[in-house]
Amino acid sequence: MGEKVRSSRISGFYKLPREERLRIVAEFAGLSEEEVEVLRSGGGLGIETADRMIENVIGMMAYPLGVAVNFRINGRDRLIPMVLEEPSVVAAASNAARMMREGEGIRTSSTEPVMIGQIQILKVENPQEKAEALLSAKEEILELANQQDPILVKFGGGARDLEVRFLDSRVGPMMVVHLLVDCRDAMGANAVNTMCEVLAPKLEKITGGKVLLRIISNLADRRLVRAEALVRKEAVGGEEVVDGIVAASAFAEADPYRAATHNKGILNGVIAVALATAQDHRAIEAGAHAYAARSGRYTALTRWEKTPEGDLLGRLEMPMAVGTVGGATRVHPVAKIALKILGVKSARELAEVMGAVGLAQNLAAIRALATEGIQRGHMRLHARNLVIMAGAEGALVDKAVEELVSSGEIRFDRAVEVVKRLKGAQNSG
């Protein structure tokens, strides 16, 4: 039996009651009643589990889980679970994904999931000679590393290669050995750190030096994700908007002050999915910024160009160290459900989806900035929340939003007045 054909193009998703949204997502992803109940009950992580996850636990803190719609990635429709505290982000991602699906959608690719472990060695005499000795013992060293993680090896991963670097530092020269490890579906920090620690005595013996640090590098430049989308000029609002987006992109490429904010917009999307799937989001952010500065000057992680036809072509490239096995991903009940909603089967697939969300989020942000600015959309959403809080329901919501926005005073007291008046008119009419 073939897979059910499902569309993530859901117009007016944001206007539906929460229960209805949940029902649509449950049907799309084939969630069980139990999983639906975990989402409905707001968090799903019991205090006992929380107490085993970190130290000194005294309670828990919930964040909203939203779902971005309209994504088409490599020809497949996806719903995107996003966890964050900032309004507008989920709406913006859905909006950009709608523009992008009018072309061919977003295409993604990725490298093998290779992480780097670093072993710092001090006091090495004749470093060139010792580096050669290390490299000639490579097979033996990799074998020793792989003995630490037979499961990773069984699933096709493991230590792959060794590189030697020389650094000049404030405390003198040092040798740094890089252990390259294919982490398959794990984020890999545990596997890599264990391997590096185990290798230390052997490396000391070969080099005659003193090993100090043994730790993964978060500059995961061997574990890259790429996302690309061709967006028709009509979909973004015409050629002038295309030019504006290209100029916004060029600004971020040329200026670190702008690039930091531009990349923050990308990370709005990436990290929201990372949180929903319980990834080590600090590792992703550290990797993203370090990669953005790899040329020696901090720059943008995306680039938008105009095609000869006047359309928009966007590309993103960034490290994406994520896992679908191990860590909190398999412990947190909501993270497990988020992976099911995403429908990803491997860490690479997850990484590629996250790259696609980053590219869409970036398009939404710079399109808004290059046109009306971001405050207008933001205030509309705020107005919507206010009128609902003030008791508006059904068709009255849109009417009340229009009135509140055009009044220019988007405040709760004004929302109460507007809703009261519209309800009165409705009842008397």
* Token reading at 237: 């609002």
Ordered DSSP codes for 331-385: T-HHHHHHHHHHT--SHHHHHHHHHHHHHHHHHHHHHHHHTT-SHHHHHHHHHHH
Asked whether position 265 contacts ligand MEV by CB under 6 A, the answer is yes
Q: Specify the amino acid at residue 372.
A: E
Cβ nearer to ligand MEV, comparing 108 with 362: 362
> What residues have CB less than 8 Å from 79, skipping those under 6 apart?
8, 25, 28, 29, 67, 68, 69, 71, 341, 342
Per-residue mark of binding to ligand MEV, 44-83 (x: CB under 6 A)? ----------------------------------------
Nearest approach, Cβ of residue 268 and ligand MEV (Å) = 5
Q: Smaller CB distance to ligand MEV: residue 264 or 336?
A: 264
Please tell me whether residue 302 binds ligand MEV under the rule CB under 6 A.
Answer: no
Minimum distance from residue 266 beta carbon to ligand MEV (Å):
8
In this structure, the number of other CB atoms found within 10 A of the CB of residue 12 comes to 7
| 86 vs 393, beta carbon nearer ligand MEV | 86
Query: Which residues is 115 bridged to in the sheet?
Result: 181
CA distance 117 to 219: 10
Does the CA dihedral 96-99-101-104 come out positive or negative?
A: negative
Check if 349 is active-site.
no
The yes-or-no answer on residue 264 being catalytic is yes
Q: Distance of CA 425 to CAs 133, 222, 343, Å?
A: 87, 63, 47
Residue 261 as a binder of ligand MEV (CB under 6 A): the answer is yes
Minimum distance, C-beta of residue 246 to ligand MEV, in the bound complex (Å): 14
Segment near ligand MEV (CB under 6 A); pick from 74-82, 328-336, 340-348, 363-371: 363-371
Nearer to ligand MEV, 79 or 267 (CB): 267
| C-beta nearest to ligand MEV: residue | 265
374 binds ligand MEV (CB under 6 A): yes
The secondary structure of 56-77 as a DSSP string is S--------EEEEEEEEETTEE
Q: Does 367 bind ligand MEV (CB under 6 A)?
A: no
Comparing CB distances to ligand MEV, the nearer of 261 and 426 is 261
**Contact present, 96 and 89 (Cβ < 8 Å):** no
Among 19, 20, 37, 86, which one carries the catalytic annotation?
A: 86
* Active-site residue, 340 included: no
Are 226 and 152 a contacting pair, CB within 8 Å? no
Tell me the two tokens of residue 95: 């909006």
Residue in 364, 373, 351 with CA at minimum distance from that of residue 302: 364
4 is catalytic: no
156-164, 178-186, 258-266, 297-305 -> range binding ligand MEV (CB under 6 A):
258-266
Residues 6, 264, 306, 423: which binds ligand MEV (CB under 6 A)? 264
The contact set with ligand MEV (CB under 6 A) reads 86, 261-262, 264-265, 268, 365-366, 369, 374
- For the annotated catalytic residues, the residue numbers are 86, 264, 280, 378
